[in-house]
Structure 1
Amino acid sequence: MLANLQEHLYKTLPFLKEKKLLVAVSGGIDSIVLLELLKQLNYNISIAHCNFSLRGIESDGDEQFIRDYAHKNNIEIFVTRFDTMHFATDNKLSIQIAARKLRYVWFSQLLEENNLDYLLTAHHLDDSIETFLINFIRGTGLEGLTGIPQQNDRVIRPLLPFTRSEIEMYAKVNNILWREDSSNASDKYLRNKLRHDVVPVLKSLNPAFADSFLQTIANLQQSQSLVNDAAILVYQQLVSEHEGQKHINIEQLKRLPNYKAYLYQWLNAFGFTAWNDIYDLLEAQSGKQVLSANYRLLKNREVLLLEALKPLDKEVYEIGEGVTEINKPFTIKLEMVNEISTYSTKKVIFVNNNLIKFPLFVRKWQEGDYFYPLGMNGQKKKVSKYFKDEKMSLSEKENTWLLCSENQVVWIVGKRADERFKTKDTTNQIVKIEVL
């Protein structure tokens, strides 16, 4: 196995030889064998061990075993302890997900703080098979069937071509000691049930199952690459970007025979899971939306609009008398002028200082707000009706602010001024209000 790993690293990961490597070590057979192999090949390695405090004295025994190993072999070691149960409860996560989040955040910090280049984990071929089966059972797209990748940014898995039996054989022949995690014997977790009950059956049906799986994964990865290329090409034709939003042209999208597949490729990375609801958006009324944890996909007339969710700003910002500038929620400048030099209802308005009452307020619009649009001869209009007439999207409405004098709307900021506060030829106190 040592020679095979050396050849594998030389062919696919030659850059590791001159790098400083952090090896994630639990104390189990996989990570200990990885350590031994890298040590034999004279790689520059450090150890990172997480004590998740889940198995009492057994977890503490794992930690001490790793500390002793590092000391005996003169290898730099980093150790941390997590209250994993508490973290999982507070964040409403499973123990496995909580442990994963905790350790990878810590690993990333270690890389940055200690000027280390890559994190190496001991995932192997059987882990990749189990991940494939878990994704298959739960339902997934093509990318979920491509196995565990050899590299994700700075995380590298050098043992992926090797089976668990090869690792066990190497440990036995070389008299390597390791710690056995008692939780691995339990079928409480799906991965363990697959490991104990399903994978052995597959291997009995096909003695060359591991080799067949590797070939299948290689084929699927090539197919995924083709899908990615096609998704990028079509994306460039159908999707435009505007101020942090992505606009997907619905009419053009529906002309594609496989439009659902394209939507999946474009949106999967944004955490969406309600795919039938997303596909239904194409025929839904304008204003319908589907949410993920951090993003929103909104039907807005002829486009699907994708944007990051923002916390609702319910604050009211005050502009006191004599104030010439505020910078929240955006920059507004006020200036006393003698005449109207330019006029734009988009970025600049001029109002009669005698008609406004300080302090002025900047706030989000609310249902029931109304104003008298400038140039409409004193006709009253609901702000919501104005939005509808202007064909504004839900996102645009949510990001619209009002400048108010007491309870009266002076300006739908950046859009339309109110008739009641306009200047006349006889006005001798003019306030120029500009939004930047």
Structure 2
Amino acid sequence: MRGEAVDRLELRMRRILLALGIKPETPLALAFSGGLDSVVLLNLLVRCGLRNIRAVHVCHNIRPADELAREKVLIKETCMKMHVNLTIVNVKEGAIDQYASKARCGIEAAARHFRYRALVRSAQRFGIRTVATAHHADDQVETFLLGMVRGGSLRALSGIEPVRMLSASQGIYIIRPLLSFERVELFQYAMRKGIVWSEDSTNADTAFMRNKIRHVLIPLLNAEFPSWKTSVLSYVEQIREEHEFVERSAQKILHRLLAQVEGEELLDIELLKKERRLMRLAVIKLYLARLGGGIAASREAVEELDQAISSNKKRIEAGGFEFDLAEGFLKFCGKTRGSSAQAVRAISPLLDSYEKDQYFLMVPAAGTYRCGPYIIQISEYEHGSTLHDTPPATANSLVCAFFPFILRNRRAGDTVLGPAGQKAVDTYLKEIKIAARLRHAVPVIEDKDGIAAVIPSAFGNAASARPLLRDPALCQNKKMKYILLSMKGDSTINVRSKR
């Protein structure tokens, strides 16, 4: 600030922001817990001249209500004092426990899942392309130790990335400007500046793996091996550089191995066999990610596929999904019958943006919503009313669906139960001549009973094609919404619903 000596941490932060291309006017969303790390980061950003910050606080509702209430008061007062916009996202009580049980993960992982989706949604809502989190050097060390304890891929030891894509479809990046700062430096800065912060009571609970590492393992290492953190951070950087090299090389190989077969992008198995195992595994993982739709790309699934390819098998089940290898190409065939693999997506009380899906929106009721490249307008009509302004030709576009429903892009393996039985969405998209490279972006409406409609009207020569709809007979005697699908302009879907 003018008239004050510039703190050394502020000088470091200015250099970091300059290197990241962050200017004073850059819109920035800050993950703001109210704890020491995020409050110090907010202060540093403001004192470095950033004037377009939106703090985003995600209340997970897994701590005592009185503690959460005090924390919210502090957060609001801090943002008001610093003239920073604030968004508070409340996760429905019990939703994190429910997700953790369903996804078979810990509470920490489930909370992180909700937190990052909320950050993407908030950034998207306010037209922000950069999200900042307050991860610091001590977090980096803890993440490395977590990876060592849990096991898994070498990628898990590459630590927290300083910059990475958070949502490819929205062009939203995440930055971690505090990664070179140790927690003790942040604490000392807070003391110098008289900064007040909130303490999360769960941070002391050693039932959580990260807390056990923080409060049990790290103090022991500090006592016995004073310079161990420097060594770990050096290893993290080396591992990340090698991982990035492998991934760049695998991307080039994947591009060379992809082949167009009957409008589908398939992986040439014979060419893949000529690569070293390390590159084969990296290429298969990238290919699975390219397919989208939540296809499992765990190390175990990738290794199973590689083994099947090397053994000349004709068909393989991996990660709860089936793959065909019979014609010299790796082809995704859908979910394994009776598989216990987690469902690709479920309607959530919070999530309306999902990274792998390109776009994903929960529609709870009538209103206007923005999702990916589309604007959805939803109106409700009383049961039995007539839409007088609807052209007769649109009568075939009525589809029944439960609220809440979701709008998302098409995924591999999608099917619709029509009057003539199940129909693969990919088959339908081929019939109406939508190019394979565009099919992943075709809008789909899905409710708790499955896919209700596939909407091709956003795609040029398919604009006049009739939507692929669920069998209307399935809607009889059920309290569903009846939705009329039409298109205005190149990026607007108008949806009317009728009780």
TM-score by length of 1: 0.66
Alignment of 1:33-182 (within 5 A): 33-44=40-51, 45-55=53-63, 56-89=65-98, 92-93=102-103, 94-153=106-165, 154-182=173-201
Instruction: Write the distance in 2 (CA, Å) between the matches of 1:289 and 1:244.
Output: 24
| Displacement after TM superposition at 1:332 (Å) | 8.0
Instruction: Write the distance in 2 (CA, Å) between the matches of 1:171 and 1:193.
Output: 25
Cα distance per residue 1:184-239 (max 9 Å; x no partner)? 00111111111112223334444333333333222222212321232123323333
- Larger radius of gyration between Structure 1 and Structure 2: 1
SS of equivalent residue, structure 1 residue 18: coil
CA contact (8 A) 1:150 1:158 kept: yes
SS of equivalent residue, structure 2 residue 324: strand
Q: Residues 332 and 186 from structure 1, CA distance in 2 versus in 1: closer, same or farther, beyond 3 angstroms? A: closer
Unaligned runs of 5+ in 2: 1-8, 166-172, 290-294, 334-410, 422-426, 433-499
CA contact (8 A) 2:141 2:233 kept: no
Letter in structure 1 aligned against 2:297: F
Q: Residues 214 and 106 from structure 1, CA distance in 2 versus in 1: closer, same or farther, beyond 3 angstroms? A: same
2:306 corresponds in structure 1 to: 279
1:388 corresponds in structure 2 to: none
Instruction: Write the distance in 2 (CA, Å) between the matches of 1:244 and 1:177.
Output: 59
Instruction: Write the distance in 1 (CA, Å) between the matches of 2:331 and 2:179.
Output: 40
Moved more, 301-310 or 98-107: 301-310
Letter in structure 1 aligned against 2:219: P
Letter in structure 2 aligned against 1:191: R
Instruction: Write the distance in 2 (CA, Å) between the matches of 1:90 and 1:208.
Output: 39
SS of equivalent residue, structure 1 residue 15: coil
SS of equivalent residue, structure 1 residue 122: coil
Q: Residues 331 and 110 from structure 1, CA distance in 2 versus in 1: closer, same or farther, beyond 3 angstroms? A: closer
CA contact (8 A) 2:108 2:208 kept: no
| Displacement after TM superposition at 1:246 (Å) | 4.3
SS of equivalent residue, structure 2 residue 70: helix
1:3 corresponds in structure 2 to: 11
SS of equivalent residue, structure 2 residue 15: helix
Letter in structure 2 aligned against 1:209: W
SS of equivalent residue, structure 1 residue 277: helix
Cα distance per residue 1:381-404 (max 9 Å; x no partner)? xxxxxxxxxxxxxxxxxxxxxxxx
Letter in structure 1 aligned against 2:13: L
Q: Residues 233 and 42 from structure 1, CA distance in 2 versus in 1: closer, same or farther, beyond 3 angstroms? A: closer
Instruction: Write the distance in 1 (CA, Å) between the matches of 2:323 and 2:278.
Output: 14
Q: 1:248 aligns with which of 267, 280, 292?
A: 267
CA contact (8 A) 2:60 2:96 kept: no
Counterpart check, 1:238 vs 2:271:
no
1:378 corresponds in structure 2 to: none
CA RMSD across the alignment: 2.8
| Displacement after TM superposition at 1:244 (Å) | 6.6
CA contact (8 A) 1:246 1:306 kept: no
| Displacement after TM superposition at 1:29 (Å) | 0.6
Instruction: Write the distance in 1 (CA, Å) between the matches of 2:131 and 2:330.
Output: 39
| Displacement after TM superposition at 1:285 (Å) | 3.4
CA contact (8 A) 2:31 2:133 kept: yes
SS of equivalent residue, structure 2 residue 87: strand
SS of equivalent residue, structure 2 residue 270: helix
CA contact (8 A) 2:137 2:178 kept: yes
Instruction: Write the distance in 2 (CA, Å) between the matches of 1:211 and 1:3.
Output: 22
Letter in structure 2 aligned against 1:272: A
CA contact (8 A) 1:84 1:99 kept: no
Aligned residues: 320
CA contact (8 A) 1:121 1:156 kept: yes
2:401 corresponds in structure 1 to: none
| Displacement after TM superposition at 1:178 (Å) | 0.9
Letter in structure 1 aligned against 2:60: F
Counterpart check, 1:259 vs 2:277:
yes
SS of equivalent residue, structure 1 residue 304: strand
Instruction: Write the distance in 1 (CA, Å) between the matches of 2:49 and 2:419.
Output: 63
Instruction: Write the distance in 1 (CA, Å) between the matches of 2:121 and 2:217.
Output: 37
Alignment of 1:311-326 (within 5 A): 311-317=414-420
1:310 corresponds in structure 2 to: 413
Counterpart check, 1:225 vs 2:239:
no
Moved more, 202-211 or 142-151: 202-211
Instruction: Write the distance in 1 (CA, Å) between the matches of 2:328 and 2:210.
Output: 44
CA contact (8 A) 2:305 2:316 kept: no
Cα distance per residue 1:236-283 (max 9 Å; x no partner)? 333324367443333333333x22542244316453222442233121
CA contact (8 A) 1:111 1:119 kept: yes
| Displacement after TM superposition at 1:130 (Å) | 1.6
Identity of matched residues, %: 26
CA contact (8 A) 2:35 2:198 kept: yes
1:214 corresponds in structure 2 to: 233
Q: Residues 223 and 58 from structure 1, CA distance in 2 versus in 1: closer, same or farther, beyond 3 angstroms? A: same
2:317 corresponds in structure 1 to: 289
CA contact (8 A) 2:247 2:282 kept: no
